[in-house]
């Protein structure tokens, strides 16, 4: 497994990593441990979680994912693994998390202490702000609506509170998720101005159906020396091709109502069929082609894999051996020009 430096940190993370948001909802504790064992046996050293997991988020399951990881992690050689988790921001309205989460000193300390306890560890390698404390358009929304702005914790204040957690040894490095180019640059500017810890990563959606990262965020992250942790590389299963064969195929899209609405767009199945054709002509599965594409972009630090079965995870891990020819990449770009970002 290839290891890549994450931003300007000392973290060397695997090019493929394991996402865990199904643990505790679609996957039992035993199944979660089996996935973790398989991933690590194949060279994965980066495990990503969040305090709000599993999904879909519910009060009765919140934190269960971290607990499943923790019951596994206590039996592992901790310094060989890189564990990442996240604090929830206010935009999703999760009232059951600290009566409404914010990214301020009080909430950060409580969130980190809660994650440490559930994970059964005394430090978190990468601590991320799951989505901004401020308003930003997310999860399919593409236009900034100034009327949606609300009171927010200043970025400098968020960084100062995170700096205390780094000094206390609870957190090694910090990162962002679901961020914008302005957010990345403002975090970098504030940390440089005040001598506070720098962000080293941003975890955003990036896949064949959503290549928006390639414009403003790629430029911002390049100059801020921030690595991309690419989530949803298979577009919630669409890039496995299973929903082309059966629109009611088992998956998060069909199991949970009103889930993954950003993928319910008219050009998603059309583009999927084109990518399936390209993969078939190249002798690849569409999933392996899609994962290889994300992994080989110059700005990608790691591709976060998500699976509900060991067979799915094995196929995803096997994509590490896939290389895409210039001809395949040109065919992919030709589809992208016709159907640009059908699921932003």
What pTM was estimated for this model as a whole? 0.96
Write the pLDDT tens digit of every residue in 232-244.
Answer: 999 999 999 988 8
Residue 195: CATH number of its domain = 3.20.20.100
Structure tokens at 188: 């970098």
CA 291 to chain centre: 14
Let me know: does 295 contact 16? Beta carbons within 8 Å.
yes
Token pair listed for 266:
């008219």
Contact 149, 135 (CB under 8 A): yes
Q: One of 53, 68, 263, 339 is an active-site residue; which one?
A: 53
What the block records as the tokens of 228 is 């991309």
Torsion-angle region of residue 271: left (phi > 0), alpha (psi -120 to 50) or beta? Answer: alpha
The size of the chain, in residues, is 344
Q: Residue-wise pLDDT tens for the chain (344 aa)?
A: 999 999 999 999 999 999 999 999 999 999 999 999 999 999 999 999 999 999 999 999 999 999 999 999 999 999 999 999 999 999 888 999 999 999 999 999 999 999 999 999 999 999 999 999 999 988 777 889 899 888 999 999 999 999 999 999 999 999 999 999 999 999 999 999 999 999 999 999 999 999 999 999 999 999 999 999 999 999 999 999 988 887 787 878 778 877 777 888 899 999 999 999 999 999 999 999 999 999 999 999 999 999 999 999 999 999 999 999 999 999 999 999 999 999 98
Q: Are strands 199-205 and 227-231 parallel, antiparallel or unpaired?
A: parallel
Q: Is residue 138 part of a domain?
A: yes
As a whole number of angstroms, the distance between CA 164 and CA 28 comes to: 35
Q: Is residue 35 situated within a structural domain?
A: yes
Q: How far is CA 180 from the centre of its chain?
A: 14
The 10s digit of each residue's pLDDT in 38-57 is: 999 999 999 999 999 999 99
Q: Could you give the angle at the alpha carbon of 218 between the alpha carbons of 214 and 221, nearest 5°?
A: 160
Closest CA to 35 of 50, 25, 22: 22
Q: Give the domain range for residue 36.
A: 3-338
Does residue 225 belong to any structural domain of this protein?
yes
Please check whether residue 268 lies inside any domain of the structure.
yes
Question: Nearest-CA neighbor of 156 among 191, 104, 106?
Answer: 191
Name the one residue in this structure whose structure tokens are 């962000």. 199
Give domain status of residue 343, yes or no. no
344 within some domain: no
Give the closest residue to 130 by CA, choosing from 66, 190, 77: 66
239 within domain boundaries: yes
Q: For the chain, what is the domain count?
A: 1
Active site residue 53: yes
The reply to whether 243 falls in a domain is yes
Residue 132 makes CB contacts below 8 A (sequence gap 6+) with 89, 91, 103, 152, 176, 178, 179, 180, 183
């Amino acid at each position: 497994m290839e290891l890549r430096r994450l931003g300007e940190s000392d973290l060397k993370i695997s090019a493929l990593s394991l996402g865990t948001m199904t643990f505790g909802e679609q996957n039992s504790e035993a199944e979660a441990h089996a996935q973790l064992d398989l991933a690590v046996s194949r060279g994965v050293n980066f495990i990503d979680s969040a305090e709000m997991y599993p999904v879909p988020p519910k009060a009765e399951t919140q934190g269960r994912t971290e607990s499943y990881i923790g019951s596994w992690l206590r039996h592992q050689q901790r310094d060989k693994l890189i564990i990442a988790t996240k604090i929830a921001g206010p935009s999703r309205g999760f009232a059951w998390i600290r009566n409404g989460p914010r990214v301020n000193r009080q909430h950060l300390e409580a969130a980190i202490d809660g994650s440490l306890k559930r994970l059964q560890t005394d430090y978190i390698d990468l601590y991320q702000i799951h989505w901004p404390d401020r308003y930003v358009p997310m999860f399919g929304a593409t236009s900034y609506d100034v009327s949606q702005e609300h009171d927010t914790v200043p970025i400098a204040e968020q960084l100062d509170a995170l700096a205390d957690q780094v000094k206390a040894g609870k957190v090694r490095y910090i990162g962002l998720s679901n961020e914008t180019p302005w957010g990345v640059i403002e975090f970098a500017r504030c940390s440089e101005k005040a001598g506070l810890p720098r962000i080293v990563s941003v975890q955003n959606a990036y896949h064949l159906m959503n290549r928006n990262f390639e414009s403003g965020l790629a430029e911002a992250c390049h100059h801020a020396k921030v690595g991309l942790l690419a989530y949803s590389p298979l577009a919630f299963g669409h890039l496995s091709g299973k929903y082309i064969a059966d629109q009611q195929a088992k998956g998060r899209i069909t199991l949970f109502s009103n889930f993954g609405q950003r993928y319910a767009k008219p050009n998603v199945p059309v583009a999927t069929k084109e990518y399936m054709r390209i993969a078939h002509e190249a002798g690849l599965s569409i999933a392996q082609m899609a994962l290889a594409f994300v992994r080989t972009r110059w700005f990608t630090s790691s591709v976060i894999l998500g699976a509900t079965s060991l067979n799915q995870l094995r196929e995803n891990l096997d994509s590490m051996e896939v290389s895409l020819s210039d001809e395949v990449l040109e065919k992919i770009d030709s589809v992208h020009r016709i159907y640009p970002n059908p699921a932003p």
